[in-house]
A and B are shown apart, each in its own frame.
Chain A
Amino acid sequence: MLVRRISQFFIVYGAGIGFLLALKSILGLSDYVIPGPLDIWTTSLAVVNDYLYDVLNTLGVAMIGQILSIIMAFSIGTAARKSSWIGSFIKAAAYNIQAYPIVAVAPIIFILLGDGFASRLIIAAMICYFPLLLSVVSIMSEPITDIEHFYLATGRMRWQLEIKIRAFENIRKLTTVISGSATLAMAGTIVAEFIAANAGIGHAIRIALYQSDLSKILAALFLIGIFLSLYQGTLEWMGEKIIKKWVILDPEEIP
């Protein structure tokens, strides 16, 4: 799975570079607009160490932001699963707030908290949080009648059991949503770094943008893609491990 994900990234990245070089060749663009393959290669070698550190820095923030958003989404999402007043209120609030672009709020966070770690973390967590919350609310508020009926009829149902049943029955959806949210967390962190941060690969890309250095940007994109693929692949692998351990399926159901 991890190998497949990385090889897919190589194909997409290679196709992207090929497209840019084809464009350069067809339109006769200068090296200043789209650098040649040799320039991309030498620039990449020159910046790889710095960018590696920047990507890891960004990934670290994204991972912490994602963990925070998962904890928040599961806490709020399970509270909102009930069709009570508070549940409906949380659901309505979540739907309304997620419709508002978080990036537009980012400058306020930077003004209040400065351009350090906390601002990047909060923006990453917020961008990751709302889609995750909507998925968790939608999964957790759907009763699994075939299983829950017995516990309800016999007065054995507890909120912990209800959550366990619904999480178990939707474990594939949940693990997919969590691994998918890694992209959102990474995107959120990079967006935050674009706006005003003082570290991270987004910050490095912003500097390269001011220098109009496409080679540096391409090198940064390569490292982002590789590490994001690794991270998502690891999350998917962990998800599969959890599914295999917790859910015993028919042998033909095991991928």
Chain B
Amino acid sequence: MFLECRNLGYRYPRSSEFVFQDISLQLNTPGFHALFGPSGVGKTSFAKLLTGDIKGYTGEILKKENAIFLYTYNQERLPGWSSIGRHLNKITPPGMADLCQELVETFGLDPFMNQKFSQLSLGQQNRINLIRYLLQDFDLLVMDESLANVDERSKENIIFKIKERFPDKYFLYISHNLMEVSKFSDMILVLLKAGKQPQTSLIKGLNIHRNDVINSQELDAVLLGIMNAC
């Protein structure tokens, strides 16, 4: 067992209403998974509960012993006093310099290593932020809108690279983009508004890899499945 949630529920502090309730699920296969749902259903809260960034939930969260869960989101910033290259050098664990360079090149950030974070575009900022998390020791990485403001081609390239380079890791990708979630994800956890029963739906995505050809009928089926679940 890698991750299991039993009857998980969460209320914002000083609120009597549940954001979500009775969520039960198991995650036992590494890969690129997604968390999908309309705004306000508690995707971020759910992800933060898994990573321990917030507490105060009902139910149970069971994790594999010593598993490291990290949460990253698209508005994170790097300190502004040094260049992003220098920052990456500082936070890259020993022996990971090659991976760092590889990711920097794949993510299209090589020409910007001497620049400061505030001098980058939003998409570049999100990419550099994601790189530094990928360089850390983790078992599950929650990517909350981590590729927002990144163009489609780069986004696709980045996701394929993540799949190739980290086949044994778990990823939980939060996005509002129905198409990318359907195409790239293995399992899609659709979170529904409080009060709906069941409150979650688990849908199998296409989980495409580089050079895979998309079967449009299968894609339509996944899209339809998600839309019906919502």
Contact = CB atoms under 8 A, between A and B. Distances in A.
A150 B53 CA distance: 11
Nearest to A153: B70
B79 interface: yes
A142 interface: no
A150 B81 contact: no
Contacts of A146: 75-77
Given A153-B71, A168-B81, A250 B119 contact: yes
Contacts of B39: none
Interface centre among A146, A149, A168 (most CB of B within 10 A): A149
Contacts of A246: 81
A164 B87 CA distance: 14
A22 B187 CA distance: 84
Interface string A117-156: 0000000000000000000000000000011011001101
A154 B79 contact: no
Contacts of B76: 146-147, 149-150
Contacts of A150: 72, 76, 78, 91, 129, 132-133
B70 A248 contact: no
Interface in B123-142: 129, 132-133, 136
A38 interface: no
Given A146-B76, A248-B80, A154 B136 contact: yes
Contacts of B71: 149, 153
A122 B215 CA distance: 80
B12 to A, nearest CB: 17
Given A153-B71, A249-B118, A168 B80 contact: yes
B79 A165 contact: yes
Contacts of A147: 76-79
A247 interface: yes
A156 B129 CA distance: 15
A150 B125 CA distance: 14
B interface residue count range (under 10 / 10 to 19 / 20 to 34 / 35 or more): 20 to 34
Interface string A152-192: 01101000000011001000000000000000000000000
B51 interface: yes
Nearest to A147: B77
B116 interface: yes
Nearest to A246: B81
Contacts of B70: 153-154
Contacts of B118: 248-250
A154 B91 CA distance: 10
A202 to B, nearest CB: 41
Given A153-B51, A154-B136, A247 B77 contact: no
Nearest to A248: B116
A153 B76 CA distance: 12
Given A168-B79, A168-B81, A153 B91 contact: no
Contacts of A154: 70, 91, 136
A176 to B, nearest CB: 18
Nearest to B90: A156
Contacts of B136: 154
A146 B118 CA distance: 13
A149 B74 CA distance: 12
A149 B71 CA distance: 9
Interface string B51-87: 1010000000000000000111101111111000000
Given A153-B71, A154-B91, A156-B91, 15 more contacts: A146-B77, A147-B77, A147-B78, A149-B53, A149-B73, A150-B132, A153-B53, A153-B70, A164-B79, A168-B81, A246-B81, A247-B81, A248-B80, A248-B116, A249-B118
25 contacts: A146-B75, A146-B76, A146-B77, A147-B76, A149-B72, A149-B73, A149-B76, A150-B76, A150-B78, A150-B129, A150-B133, A153-B51, A153-B71, A153-B72, A154-B70, A154-B136, A156-B91, A164-B81, A165-B79, A168-B79, A168-B80, A247-B80, A248-B118, A248-B119, A250-B119
State the 6 A-B residue pairs at the shortest beta-carbon distance, nearest first. Answer: A146-B77, A248-B116, A147-B77, A154-B136, A146-B76, A153-B70
